A = this chain, B = another copy of it.
């Protein structure tokens, strides 16, 4: 491995000049710069990050803390983050908040340790108190958020819910249920508020019995389907707080011999990749995941560069993706009759 010293010797200049050529080329004369760059080219020199980071008092990486690394939802977001970080010379460290025993203390450890120059937090369940660490690097919340003391990147959650409910309404539905995320989760709370607000503006009844509990997972969607089937007062359409739950819900409904959208219309949230390939294809609210990652990374880099903490909230638009899991209930009944 060639070092700065080697380049300096080869180019007949001092290490200071080499360093300047690489990081602040405006300061060195044209001819010298050429000589240095030639030496760099010849040796295939690459900076030693450990040395640079030590000298510059930084860690050279940022951490993404996700609630569950095994959840495919995050992979695309990570790709977005990575694409912004890499050109800036930062590495992306990923860690799982659920992996260890005590998420809060692990978070605190990351903040204190100088392990990273910044942190992107995807888990809204951590305690705000854990963030209160002296000299902690900047933190950006993404997707989920904690209070309003942290800069964050999120999507139009309530608006997405309203889009979903209005779409079901436009299709002719008047009884619309909601399949929730984990109790207390900010995304879930906000989407549920959007759901209730939309019902209100549309003059539709809301009914506590139409709210089914879930936790965003496939399995919880399937379990909710069983409760839906057993419910004599069940709504004719379900807005699910995540696509995974919507998929689980539809799967279980159909395994029970019922049909989507004939017997129940379903709409999800996220637009995960399989949504377009389910039977029926899933109507949903699209979240631009790569964009979320990019924005969060950019926001964090800006905070690192300026050493300032401006608590801004970036809201990313969502949109309805119409597919075939929603139908007019009247038509559906007719179809039911002909089919039998």
A166 to B277, CA, bound (A): 27
A114 to B255, CA, bound (A): 53
**Count of chain A residues with Cβ under 8 Å from any Cβ of B?**
59
A218 to B276, CA, bound (A): 9
Give this chain's copy count: 2
Q: Which residue of B lies closest to A47 (CB)?
A: B113
A60 to B48, CA, bound (A): 12
A276 to B95, CA, bound (A): 27
Verify A274–B247 contact, CB threshold 8 A.
yes
Verify B54–A112 contact, CB threshold 8 A.
no
Q: Is A91 an interface residue (CB 8 A)?
A: yes
Enumerate A40-76 residues with CB–CB distance to B below 8 Å: 44, 46, 48-51, 53-54, 58-61, 68-72, 74-76
Verify A251–B281 contact, CB threshold 8 A.
yes
Contacts of A114 in B (CB 8 A): 1, 46, 48-49
Verify A255–B276 contact, CB threshold 8 A.
no
Contacts of A68 in B (CB 8 A): 79
Q: A114-B49, A222-B277, A279-B279 are in contact. Are A76 and B69 (CB under 8 A)?
A: yes
Contacts of A32 in B (CB 8 A): none
Q: A276-B218, A279-B250 are in contact. Are A60 and B70 (CB under 8 A)?
A: no
Q: Is A254 an interface residue (CB 8 A)?
A: yes
Verify B69–A72 contact, CB threshold 8 A.
no
Min CB gap A269→B, angstroms: 16
Interface residues as binary, A91-115 with B (CB distance below 8 Å gives 1, 0 otherwise):
1111110010000000001001111
